[in-house]
Amino acid sequence: MKIASKLIVFVLFFFILNGCANSYKISTIDTVNVDDYSVYVFRLCEKIRVEGTQRFLLCDTDCKPNDINSLEGIQVREELYFLIEKQGNKVIYLTTKTDRSFDIEPDIFNSEAHKEFVFVDDLENVYYGILDKNSIIFTNKNEILKFEIAPREDSSCNYRISTLLSNSKEDPTVINNRLISLQDIYSVPLQFIKSERVLAIKENRKYELDSLQTIKLTGKRIVFKGKRDSIRRSQRKRLKYHPEFD
List the one residue out of 37, 7, 5 whose CA is nearest residue 126.
37
Q: What is the pLDDT of residue 13?
A: 46
pLDDT band of 83, cuts 50, 70, 90: very high
Instruction: Assess contact for 120 and 200: CB atoms under 8 A.
Output: yes
What is the enclosing helix (H) or strand (E) of 49?
A: none
Q: Evaluate if residue 195 carries a pLDDT over 70.
A: yes
**Can you tell me the distance from the alpha carbon of 61 to that of 187, in angstroms, rounded to the nearest whole number?**
14
Neighbours of 115 (CB within 10 A): 13
The mean per-residue pLDDT over the stretch 32-40 comes to 95
Instruction: Assess contact for 140 and 24: CB atoms under 8 A.
Output: yes
Q: Evaluate if residue 9 carries a pLDDT over 50.
A: no
pLDDT band of 74, cuts 50, 70, 90: confident
Least confident among 17-31, 85-99, 107-121, 147-161: 17-31
DSSP letters for 17-77: TTTT---SPB---EEEEGGGEEEEEEEEEEEE-TTS-EEEEES-BTTB---GGGSTTEEEE
H helices within the chain, ranges in order?
6-15
Cis peptide leading into residue 189 (ω within 30°)? no
Instruction: Assess contact for 13 and 7: CB atoms under 8 A.
Output: no
Strand partners, 144: 139, 167
- Domains in the chain: boundaries: 6-38+80-108+117-234
| Interval 208-244: pLDDT, tens | 788 999 998 877 788 899 988 888 887 766 677 766 6
pTM exceeds 0.75 = yes
| Interval 147-173: pLDDT, tens | 999 988 777 899 999 988 888 776 655
Q: Evaluate if residue 20 carries a pLDDT over 60.
A: no
Strand partners, 139: 144
Q: What percent of the chain has pLDDT over 90?
A: 24
The mean per-residue pLDDT over the stretch 172-198 comes to 79
User: β-strands 90-96, 74-85: how paired?
Assistant: antiparallel
**Can you tell me the distance from the alpha carbon of 53 to that of 232, in angstroms, rounded to the nearest whole number?**
40
Q: What is the pLDDT of residue 187?
A: 74
Q: What is the pLDDT of residue 17?
A: 37
185, with CB counted inside 10 A (0-12, 13-18, 19+), is exposed
Q: Evaluate if residue 108 carries a pLDDT over 50.
A: yes
pLDDT band of 179, cuts 50, 70, 90: confident
Which amino acid type is present at position 165? L
